[in-house]
Structure 1
Amino acid sequence: MSRSERRDQQVARILDAAKTCFVRSGFQGASMQQICSEVGMSPGALYRYFPSKEAIIEAITEADRRRDAEVFSLLTQGGDVVDGFVAAAMAHIRYMHDSGNAPLFAEIRAESMRNDSIDFACKMSMKDVDASFRSFLQAGIDRGEIDPCAELGTILPVMVAFGEGLAINDLPAQGVSLDRLETVIRAIAIAVLRPTGRAATLQSEPHAKP
């Protein structure tokens, strides 16, 4: 492997070890020494990669930001706004369930409420996602495809809070089937976004005036 590949491999090992420690002991309870023991690395070696636990959390949230960007790319692949929203939501739910990251997400979110640097890292990781989501919904409004029940300034934080709740609770792990969960999410999306049916009309009547 190249030096860059070896570094990436070491970083991944450290992040995996840190996630285990944060879930087991909490952010406050987990020490850098515990992370060193978990990963099998000396403190001196670990500090060459990450100078603090906050730096580790920043790396974790940055990785999540990149993954979320991939998930939210599904927004524009659906047949309409509701389809795109449901596809992205279900992809996020499946990832959180399959990865088992719900406890870690809960721990990071809790720490962000008392640690300014963690709060900043979380907000920065969501910045691009929020912008993509806003642009996606605004485009649907501009096309006349949806008529949301409230302004985007209200809908966006509500949807984010809704998504965080789903991520933390990992409902599939509690026995809620993905099919039924998708049915409920679609019903909520329809109720909030209020599709007008205009997109289907314009597709069937291409010469109709907007």
Structure 2
Amino acid sequence: MATRISKTPQSPTQKADKKRIEVLKAAGKCFRKTGFHQTSMQQICAETGLGPGAVYRYFTGKEAIIEAMVEDERRQTRAMLIQMRDAESIQQALSNTTRLFAERYRAGGDASLMTEVYAEGMRSKRVGTVLRKIEAEWIMGLTNLLRIAQARGQMDASLDAAQTALFLTGMWDGMVIRQHFHAHDDQHALPAFFEMMIARLLTRESKPEKPGKAAAATQANTAAPANEAREPAEAADLRQLSLI
């Protein structure tokens, strides 16, 4: 006689989490099709196959659904920062991140969903507050990584790390939107070009004028204190990064 393998029963919390994820997926599908404001809660209910009462049990409305999507984005960005921290070099970390952004938003209309979420964050104070928190965490984490790379000599030390973090993030956001409108092109060409340009940006150093004897002496006298000051700064950045 065949032995029946019984499935482990799900707890009420696990069932609720599963339903919640199903509602988020259905809502995301609707938002991609018609946009956030054109989508009604009735459409989301129809997409899930659940009644309004069941959907409202998990989310009070569309704004709450957007907030949950933003929180999911927060978890993913934290995971991405940890991956970047564990890379062999900043160049490798940024190269991997470029590919991750490209692959994540290439299919399924996620680029359009991303723009819907950010647009709503500009309209809604409630959603905007959550988005700004995620943005601050992401930029701080990336800035710390860049500063550590500068201290290790892996990156042009003359660049402002915080502004570079903002610039890189803007490049990645722009890349995922551009590849949506150029989907017929080689899907690897644009990310590869971005990788190359980022590497050039971070390693480019201007050629200084040859210092005279007096300037050379001044540099020799100030080199040791500068190096000593850099070590505690790097240690502080590492401590901050460990909190991520």
Superposition TM-score, scaled by structure 1 size: 0.83
Amino acid at match of 1:51: T
Q: Find the partner of 2:153 among 114, 139, 144.
A: 144
Amino acid at match of 2:80: V
SS at match of 1:146: coil
| Percent of residue pairs identical | 26
Alpha-carbon distance, 1:195 to partner: 6.3
Considering fraction of residues, name the structure with more helix. 1
User: Quick check: 2:98–2:195 contact (8 Å CA) kept in 1?
Assistant: no
Q: Find the partner of 1:181 among 180, 190, 195.
A: 190
| 1:111-145 CA distance string (max 9 Å, x none) | 22222222222222333322221111010112222
Return 5+ residue gaps in structure 2 as ranges.
1-9, 206-223, 228-244
Matches of 1:122 and 1:176 in 2, distance apart?
32
Q: Which structure: larger Rg?
A: 2
Matches of 2:166 and 2:15 in 1, distance apart?
39
Alpha-carbon distance, 1:3 to partner: 0.9
Task: State yes or no: 1:130 paired with 2:139.
Answer: yes
The aligned length equals 197
User: Quick check: 2:78–2:138 contact (8 Å CA) kept in 1?
Assistant: yes
User: Quick check: 1:15–1:56 contact (8 Å CA) kept in 2?
Assistant: yes
User: Quick check: 1:105–1:168 contact (8 Å CA) kept in 2?
Assistant: no
The structure-2 alpha-carbon separation of the partners of 1:195 and 1:23, relative to structure 1 and needing over 3 Å to count, comes to same
The structure-2 alpha-carbon separation of the partners of 1:111 and 1:169, relative to structure 1 and needing over 3 Å to count, comes to farther
Alpha-carbon distance, 1:18 to partner: 0.6
Alpha-carbon distance, 1:149 to partner: 5.6
Matches of 1:181 and 1:2 in 2, distance apart?
45
Matches of 1:175 and 1:3 in 2, distance apart?
47
Return 5+ residue gaps in structure 1 as ranges.
197-208
Q: Find the partner of 1:56 among 47, 53, 65.
A: 65
| 1:71-103 CA distance string (max 9 Å, x none) | 232213433211111112211211222454111
SS at match of 2:37: helix
Superposition TM-score, scaled by structure 2 size: 0.72
Amino acid at match of 1:69: R
Q: 1:1-210 alignment to 2 at 5 Å? A: 1-147=10-156, 150-171=159-180, 173-178=183-188, 180-194=189-203
SS at match of 2:123: coil
SS at match of 2:156: coil
